[in-house]
């Protein structure tokens, strides 16, 4: 779960997920392939991007931001459904996208129109219930009244059986498999 510096909601699940992402990035292509329908090989080159951003209200820290080829991905690990998650995801995605805009290039080209590319984002829910949707959704409305839908897929880790985890090589889910037995 991404968080602001100084909060105390750090969990062991964050640590496990972040450690896997940092130490075993080869676990990421099967996850991305599953979520976004891509076809990256397991040995695809992963470029880890920074995951700390200084915002007006303090430092925000995301769970993982990385690049495969030209595509940027942002994945958060969330232990339980959270009603504010979609707002936090949009905040993190804007910070990530702004990181790609180079002010020198804007001034150099003299453009009043800038394109900003949001990353491909997803949330891993380690726990969920029957009401947990398949996507987080938010609608941005600009000053002209145009609506821009913002959707983030939710991966419900407990829906994956151990056989499916191994068949699809989603080994990044293994440390969380035990959560299905916590009740």
Work out the average pLDDT over 123-142: 91
**C-alpha–C-alpha distance, residues 35 and 13, integer Å:** 20
Work out the average pLDDT over 113-127: 88
Work out the percent of the chain whose per-residue pLDDT is above 70: 81
Q: What is the pTM of this model?
A: 0.83
Measured in residues, the chain has a length of: 183
Gyration radius of the chain over CA positions = 17
Which H or E run includes 92?
Answer: helix 85-100
**C-alpha–C-alpha distance, residues 95 and 92, integer Å:** 5
Q: What is the pLDDT of residue 174?
A: 93
Per-residue pLDDT reduced to its tens digit, 18-76? 888 888 999 999 999 999 999 999 899 998 886 665 566 666 666 788 999 999 999 99
Compute φ and ψ for 115, nearest 5 degrees: -95, 135
Q: What is the pLDDT of residue 109?
A: 56
Tokens standing for residue 141:
């409305």
């Amino acid at each position: 779960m991404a968080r602001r510096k100084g909060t105390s909601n750090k969990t062991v699940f964050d640590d496990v997920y972040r450690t896997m992402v940092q130490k075993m990035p080869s676990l990421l292509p099967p996850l991305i392939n599953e979520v976004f329908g891509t076809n990256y090989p397991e040995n695809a080159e992963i470029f880890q991007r920074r995951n700390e951003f200084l915002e007006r209200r303090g430092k925000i820290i995301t769970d993982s931001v990385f690049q495969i080829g030209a595509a940027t991905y942002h994945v958060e690990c969330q232990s339980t459904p959270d009603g504010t998650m979609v707002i936090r995801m949009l905040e993190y995605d804007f910070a990530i996208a702004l990181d790609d805009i180079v002010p020198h290039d804007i001034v150099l080209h003299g453009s009043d129109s800038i394109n900003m590319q949001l990353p491909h984002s997803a949330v891993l829910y380690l726990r969920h219930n029957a009401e947990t949707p398949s996507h987080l959704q938010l609608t941005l409305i600009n000053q002209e009244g145009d609506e821009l839908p913002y959707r983030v897929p939710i991966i419900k880790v407990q829906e994956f059986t151990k056989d499916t985890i191994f068949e699809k090589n989603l080994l990044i889910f293994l440390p969380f498999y035990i959560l299905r037995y916590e009740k």
